[in-house]
Amino acid sequence: MNIPRPSIIIVGAGQTGRDLANKLVPDWDVVVVDVEETKLKLLPESKHITRVKGDATSRLVLKKLELTTASYFIIATGRDDVNLEVARLALERGTRRIIAVSIDVKRNDEYLKLGVEVVNRAHAVVGILFSKIEKGKVVASGIGLGKGEIIEVTVLPGSVVVGKRLSELRPKAWLVGAVYRRDEFIVPHGDTKIQVGDRILLIGNPDIIKVIAELLRTGSPEFPLQYGARLLTYMPSYAPEVSKEELEYLLKNTRAYEARIAGSNTRACWKLESDLKNAGLKISYDPQIKFQENPQDVLDKEDVGLVIMPPFSLSILEIIGLKKGWASRIFDRVNIPVLIARGTHPYEKITLFATSRETLRREAELAIDLARLLGSQLTIATVVPPEFSVDREVKVESEHILSEALQIALMYGIKIQEVCLEGNPIEEMEQFSETQNLIIIGHKRGVWNHVFKPDVSLHVASRSHCSCIIVPHEG
């Protein structure tokens, strides 16, 4: 049984039109229209190619073509004014699907207003060249807006996301649309694990998914994008101001693409916004953001990857465990890192105080990512009580923590220093912080500080001599 071949009309027998006809002819009946016979003669000889010499801006020429029966009407003359006129006339005759190749991207809107699909030649070429240069990444040029909001990336063996579930990547301003694994198409879910060689289709903000693609492909450092794309600086009226220089340093040296400011210290907030905008940075203050009331809701809505707060002190009531202060309440209600900014940047020396094997991986990956991104010296430190007051199990646990931290660092190809301190954990960490630019410590949410059982992370965050990142986790 003979199955009818679909038909397509191509206006323009230039290089684009000829190459397209050549690719389509095995399965399509192709009609090519051009005013120049010399171009038509360059088409391959085939019974499935019909050459029509004529001006497609003429109604008489279009009338001779079977426009209403063609599956597609392609316009590729090399001139936008000609393409637009052909499209307008073809629409008058009830032509179905029209696709035009635009030359000047600024005229794309004119095509779209007519209801014509448009492919910009420059965008298409850039996408192809980018894919050749950046092996393992393909930018879609004829899908969606064509602005790079859709990228296909191949996961390489060295990528640190191999074996991770998609839910662990915490996508917000981007998502995984599909996973291609060998010859299998996978509809992704939160439990889908990434494997070496997976081709992952990313969809999202073009400014963000470029670096997300690199993170998935090679595991390059991308802090804070694994948590969110923005920084949020919180400045309440009852606390000191956040260091303008430290916020500027973070905006310039991390992957965050802009910052938000929230807080009741309006004078300081407006000044911070003005100073950093004058420095050419993307930042905005919104007095309507009620961060203290619903912190995690704000972070989710604003796609925040790092909260930045001023230093704080513990009151007597907090120390003895009768109340929780403003900083402690925030630590308990967010699930992304919080930086207590003390202006000790640049972060040339970073120390992770590892206190639990259960949460070590998340804290170590953050510390390692920052160290790789900033070129910092990284130390992993544990603290055990004095020899006379501790049993062998505590010592063994400390050794296990350091060993696991070292394995994680080796996976990322980074060298670390290991330090085991002995004494009161809060005092030892406070003293050690004098020699560092940034310390990182995990915080168990919901734990009450008590004079006889102090919350180590809360005390360290309030007493540290350098900037401190708190990494909250479930209690």
- pLDDT tens readout for residues 295-325: 999 999 999 999 999 999 999 999 998 999 9
**Average pLDDT of the residues of the chain:** 86
Q: What is the pLDDT of residue 416?
A: 87
Q: How confident is the model at residue 377 (pLDDT cuts 50, 70, 90)?
A: very high
For residue 416, give the amino acid letter. Answer: I
| Mean pLDDT for the stretch of residues 117-128 | 67
Q: What is the pLDDT of residue 470?
A: 97
**Residue 193: DSSP 8-state:** B
Give yes or no for residue 138 having a pLDDT over 80.
no
Give yes or no for residue 353 having a pLDDT over 70.
yes
Q: How confident is the model at residue 3 (pLDDT cuts 50, 70, 90)?
A: low
* Cα gap 350→357, rounded to integer Å: 19
| Mean pLDDT for the stretch of residues 428-455 | 93
For residue 15, give the amino acid letter. Answer: Q
Q: How confident is the model at residue 13 (pLDDT cuts 50, 70, 90)?
A: very high
| Mean pLDDT for the stretch of residues 429-443 | 96
Give yes or no for residue 1 having a pLDDT over 50.
no
Common-topology check for domains 230-310 and 326-473: yes
* Cβ atoms of residues 173 and 205 within 8 Å: yes
Residue length, the chain?
Answer: 475
Q: What is the pLDDT of residue 147?
A: 56
Give yes or no for residue 235 having a pLDDT over 90.
yes
Hey, how many other C-beta atoms are within 10 angstroms of the C-beta on 207?
Answer: 13
Domain extents in the chain: 7-123, 134-218, 230-310, 326-473
Report which of residues 142 and 70 the model is more confident about: 70
Would you call 198 exposed, middle or buried from its count of C-beta atoms within 10 A (0-12, 13-18, 19+)? buried
User: Which residue reads 């509809």 in tokens?
Assistant: 187
Would you call 204 exposed, middle or buried from its count of C-beta atoms within 10 A (0-12, 13-18, 19+)? buried
* Cβ atoms of residues 421 and 436 within 8 Å: no
Q: Which of 13-22, 51-60, 119-128, 249-258 has the lowest mean pLDDT?
A: 119-128
* Cα gap 59→349, rounded to integer Å: 74
CATH number of 134-218: 3.30.70.1450
Determine the topology of domain 326-473 in CATH: Rossmann fold (3.40.50)
Give yes or no for residue 218 having a pLDDT over 70.
no
**DSSP E strand boundaries for 6-63:** 7-11, 29-34, 49-53
* Cβ atoms of residues 21 and 46 within 8 Å: no
Give yes or no for residue 54 having a pLDDT over 80.
yes
Q: What is the pLDDT of residue 133?
A: 47
Q: What is the pLDDT of residue 406?
A: 76
Q: Looking at domain 230-310, which of 2.60.120, 1.10.10, 3.40.50, 3.30.420 is its CATH number?
A: 3.40.50
Question: How large is the C-alpha radius of gyration of the chain?
Answer: 30
* Cα gap 103→98, rounded to integer Å: 16
Q: Looking at domain 7-123, which of 3.40.50.720, 2.60.40.290, 3.40.50.1110, 2.70.98.90 is its CATH number?
A: 3.40.50.720
For residue 217, give the H/E element and its range.
Answer: helix 206-218
* Cβ atoms of residues 12 and 35 within 8 Å: no
Q: What is the pLDDT of residue 82?
A: 94
Give yes or no for residue 197 having a pLDDT over 90.
no
| Mean pLDDT for the stretch of residues 239-244 | 91
Centroid of chain to Cα 111: 31
Q: How far is CA 319 from CA 293, 298, 316, 456, in A?
A: 23, 29, 5, 11
Q: What's the order of all strands across the beta sheet hosting 137-139?
A: 137-139, 150-154, 199-204, 174-181, 184-186
| Mean pLDDT for the stretch of residues 342-350 | 97
The dihedrals phi and psi of 128, each to the nearest 5 degrees, come to -65, -45
For residue 98, give the amino acid letter. Answer: I
The dihedrals phi and psi of 104, each to the nearest 5 degrees, come to -100, 115
For residue 419, give the H/E element and its range.
Answer: strand 417-422
Give yes or no for residue 129 having a pLDDT over 60.
no
The dihedrals phi and psi of 413, each to the nearest 5 degrees, come to 70, 35
Report which of residues 174 and 28 the model is more confident about: 28
Q: What is the pLDDT of residue 135?
A: 47
* Cα gap 143→125, rounded to integer Å: 14
* Cβ atoms of residues 256 and 229 within 8 Å: yes
Give yes or no for residue 126 having a pLDDT over 80.
no
Report which of 298, 304, 221 is spatially closest to residue 255, judged by C-alpha positions.
221
| Mean pLDDT for the stretch of residues 262-282 | 95
* Cβ atoms of residues 364 and 353 within 8 Å: no
Report which of residues 389 and 379 the model is more confident about: 379
| Mean pLDDT for the stretch of residues 333-356 | 95
